[in-house]
Amino acid sequence: MTGGQTNNGHPEQPVLSAPKGPHSAHRNHSSVKFQGSIARTFSFSLLLCFLTSLPLLAEHTRRWRQSTYEEFLKGTAHGVAVRSDGRLELAPKVTLLADADASYLWSVRLDPKGTLYAAGGSPAKVFRFDSNGKPTIVFDSTDLSAQAMAFDPKGALYVGTSPDGKVYRVSASGEKSVFFEPKTKYIWDLAFSPDGTLYVATGDKGQVFAVAPDGKGELFYSSDEAHIRVLAFDAKGNLIAGTEPSGRILRISRSSSKTSAKDSKDAAAAKAEGFVLYETSKREVTSLAVASDGTIYLSAIGEKPSGSRPNSPAATFRPLSPSSLQQHLPHQCRWRPGRALVFARRVSLRPWTRFRWPPAGGDRQ
């Protein structure tokens, strides 16, 4: 504090002054620096708020609706299945059963004891899987691929190979012998009827052969399709077949009428005629499975040429597997006890797209 007199004689008012010292200048500088920092921070925050609000000023609430099968397939489904009528539902659980040392698995079958077998290649091999999923080779050959399998009522294994292949019989001890040679390019599937007759689906002439237990075969059915891809029997013993390239489901029964002179030589020699149950929107029916209630499950692949649409009555098909699996090519499916389906793909045994056909009219699912 300082004091004194002014020029007019009045005493000078005391004045308080900050003490002079080495820290005084530092405090003044810090105060200015702090105020400048606040100003810069505020300016940056204001600029950031302005920039982030620009998209909000440009955007507005949008609404859209997706309800068709084609629209949903453009997305990726997780845990849901898309029906062909646009409905969504929970998808079946996908479980890995086994892996085999093969590039491709084309067919899966269960023997009379419930043991799982898988055929593939190349070269042609058939695997038997134990309860832990461990594979054992029970058949191999120099053919390119083992395309089809079947078990007779006694449990003997029959294997069809392709291309230009044969039907082999494999004994319980593992010995193989040629059972039937259809002299066709492809052997696509094998199926035993309840009376023990072996039916052989072939291509590229679209023929089905019936082979007696002694190995003597005859042409049973000749189609206008290039390939009879798969066979199955319904609960009434009717032979059901899937075709390519029209993607048809046929019911084949013994012919009750005589063929005319206009029919081809193969058609005249055939013993049966086919009835088209349904023509799918896909090119190739690769697998069939018939449940105990007569429901038919099928898998199909390939797109038909533009403008080639099925002529069958309107129907609803329901893919039962997750959409993420629909990109893989389904080849074979088999019905297992407990209403479960087993599908084969190239390396692993996994479920695939499944379609259901009710036995007595109504909507197809």
Query: Is the per-residue pLDDT at 363 higher than 50?
Result: no
Please give the Cα distance from 127 to 346 (Å, whole number): 14
Please give the Cα distance from 82 to 73 (Å, whole number): 8
Binned at pLDDT 50, 70 and 90, residue 276 comes out as: very high
Q: What is the DSSP letter of 99?
A: B
* pLDDT value, residue 352: 37
Q: pLDDT, tens digit, for every residue of 153-189?
A: 888 999 999 998 899 999 888 889 999 999 999 999 9
- Largest Cα separation within the chain, whole Å, is 150
Give DSSP secondary structure letters for 117-150: EEEEETTTEEEEE-TT--EEEEEE-SSSEEEEEE
In a domain, 339, yes or no: yes
Give the percent of the chain with pLDDT over 90.
35
* pLDDT value, residue 87: 84
In a domain, 73, yes or no: yes
Closest residue by Cα to residue 355 from 308, 306, 286, 309: 286
* pLDDT value, residue 308: 60
In a domain, 303, yes or no: yes
Query: Is the per-residue pLDDT at 30 higher than 70?
Result: no
In a domain, 87, yes or no: yes
Number of domains, the chain: 1
Query: Is the per-residue pLDDT at 106 higher than 60?
Result: yes
In a domain, 325, yes or no: yes
Binned at pLDDT 50, 70 and 90, residue 56 comes out as: low
* pLDDT value, residue 158: 97
In a domain, 316, yes or no: yes
Average pLDDT over the chain, rounded to an integer: 75
Beta-bridge partners for 292? none
Give the percent of the chain with pLDDT over 70.
64
Binned at pLDDT 50, 70 and 90, residue 305 comes out as: confident
* pLDDT value, residue 150: 96
In a domain, 310, yes or no: yes
The domain containing residue 362 runs over which residues?
Answer: 67-96+295-365
193: its two tokens:
């009827």
In a domain, 37, yes or no: no
